[in-house]
Chains A and B, each alone.
Chain A
Amino acid sequence: MQSLFNSLDLQFVLGSLIKIAIFWIFIMLVVAYMVYAERRVLAVIQNRLGPNRVGWQGLLQPFADLIKFIFKEDLVPLAVNKALYMMAPVIVLVPAMMVLIVYPFGPEVPLPFGGVLSQLINDLTARVGLNWNVDLRTINLYITNFNVGLLYVFAMTSLGVYGIVIGGWASNSKYSLLGGLRSSAQMISYELAMSLSVVAVLIQIGTLDLNEIARGQGDWFGLRWNIFGGPTLAMLPSALIAFVIYLISAIAETNRVPFDLPEAETELVAGFHTEYSSLKFALFFMAEYVNMTTVSVLATTLFLGGWQGPFVEQFPWLGIVYFLAKVFFFLFLYIWLRGTLPRFRYDQLMNFGWKILLPVALFNIVLASVLGVLFL
């Protein structure tokens, strides 16, 4: 028993749990205020005010919404498949949240009072007979360093489809079923283009580790981003094409306007979550926003240099500022598109995915490989 408590495993598990808790709370706040921001920005676009009553400028609105979600009556329609109906929101949210552990928030940063803190922990554990040797003077701003981090993200996002399909089917309603089927078809189609588009960037940078990908874009005063071709400017064309394909298919992958066919109100009421109410609906809603954050984080890390930017070398804490600024830019883009674009028709969506995006993505891999062989 002594050896188990002394082992590095336990320290690793405890440290990771603390980090997970902090990042989780942070992401939940981002999600909550993303909903608020969406309502306010859409209101500005549509020339009205939006929620501005709860707290200063409506800033407490997310908490009011949350309380409302919790206290609403949790209706379970009579004809649903109960077990699957209950499971579906969880199946959507859990993989979406699991991606969190590979977000590269920033570089290795010095922790204020880190020396004192580690001394304190070491003393305290020594008093109960353990000999830990914790060093918290610098910490990494990611939860884990996974050498196939990118593939892990793709794996988890591909599992999220099940929740939507199962939720749509278990609801036993025609709108839900159609929404679920549409959604799964759409996500399978656009997932292909999305994963193929990032290959061009992987050729430039040569690793699947998200932290390494961010670290590799630090030259040129922190501006040598992959979208500019990464190690060589000659790769610029393939990088730009990859970025455009990624952006389009990421929006389709998260079921957002103009690709929000699975929840097209005019034809499907609310799509796969028509029959859901109360907290179960909130879980679906949360998962959608977490997924938006995930694809924004990927876009930032893969194409826009992650946490890199001017002066990050000197002031490492700046990294997380740059990172969040870039992620929020993409999140704003989502809202902006929702305020300005109409919805695709279903056959247009499928044709666009399979007949345009996929061939272009495949061609782009060839282009990137040729450029890579010639110039890298």
Chain B
Amino acid sequence: MEIVHILFLAFAALAVVAAFNVILQRNPIYSAIGLIVVLCSLAVLFLTLYAPFIAAMQVIVYAGAIMVLFVFVIMLLNIREEESKTDRQKYLKFLAAPLFLALLGMIAAVVKTVGNPAPRGTDQLGSVQTLAEGMFTKYVLPFEATSVLILMAIVGSMLLARREKAEDVERIEQALAASQEGAEATEKEEVAA
């Protein structure tokens, strides 16, 4: 039992507990905080598996950027606790049980095929150099395709957010022109005074 193993088990347990917290809390803020804890403990798991770069990226991108936006939106819209406790999706729970069992079976199968659940890597395996080499030589096509995909998502969201109807544009322009005239008029008055 080395310290690395103790760390791995401790943070794996923390991740599971926090993940339950995410789905069991009624207040969305607490759920979001639970998710942040999950992401941070996953980062520690990456560290114990000798992948420091991925660990750092996990925290910077997921915990540091994406989750901030989540929390930001929850606070901006001031979403309160879920009030209705009635189960609207009452038929889904009959589906959930078999699906959960199937998931457990899958996890069991995977654990059985992998001999040692915590593979020993080296410092080189998860280093920036190794990762970059793989990304820009062997996997350059999937990497670039993913980039284009993300770019499409950004452009699409911009388009959706900024779509202005023709009459709206006209109305805004009229309002702008009116305010400008008003400003000029007051200026003239000031000059006259």
Contact = CB atoms under 8 A, between A and B. Distances in A.
Interface residues of A, number: 31
B64 interface: yes
Given A158-B64, A159-B59, A159-B63, A181 B72 contact: yes
Contacts of A59: none
Given A158-B63, A159-B59, A162-B36, A151 B53 contact: yes
Contacts of A152: 52, 56
A24 interface: no
A154 B128 CA distance: 16
Interface in A65-121: 81, 84
Given A147-B127, A158-B63, A169 B52 contact: no
Contacts, number: 75
Contacts of B60: 151, 154-155, 158, 195
A13 B127 CA distance: 24
B65 to A, nearest CB: 7
Interface in B48-65: 52-53, 55-57, 59-60, 63-65
A165 interface: yes
B86 to A, nearest CB: 26
Interface in B1-30: 1-3, 29
Contacts of B63: 155, 158-159
Interface string A314-356: 0000000000000000000000000000000000000000000
A21 to B, nearest CB: 19
A373 to B, nearest CB: 14
A148 B59 contact: no
Contacts of A188: 65, 68-69
A151 B68 contact: no
Interface residues of B, number: 27
A22 B128 CA distance: 31
A169 B59 contact: no
Contacts of B71: 162, 165-166, 184
A148 to B, nearest CB: 5
A357 interface: no
B3 A165 contact: no
Contacts of A159: 40, 59, 63-64
B168 interface: no
Contacts of B53: 148, 151
Contacts of A81: 29
A208 interface: yes
Contacts of B69: 188
A181 B78 CA distance: 12
17 contacts: A7-B2, A9-B3, A146-B52, A147-B52, A148-B128, A154-B64, A155-B59, A155-B64, A156-B59, A158-B63, A159-B64, A162-B71, A165-B71, A166-B71, A180-B75, A184-B72, A185-B72
Given A155-B63, A166-B29, A181-B76, 20 more contacts: A4-B1, A9-B2, A9-B3, A13-B3, A84-B29, A148-B53, A151-B53, A152-B52, A155-B59, A158-B68, A159-B63, A162-B36, A162-B71, A168-B75, A180-B75, A184-B71, A184-B72, A185-B72, A195-B60, A208-B128
Q: Closest 4 interchain pairs by CB?
A: A158-B64, A151-B56, A155-B59, A9-B3
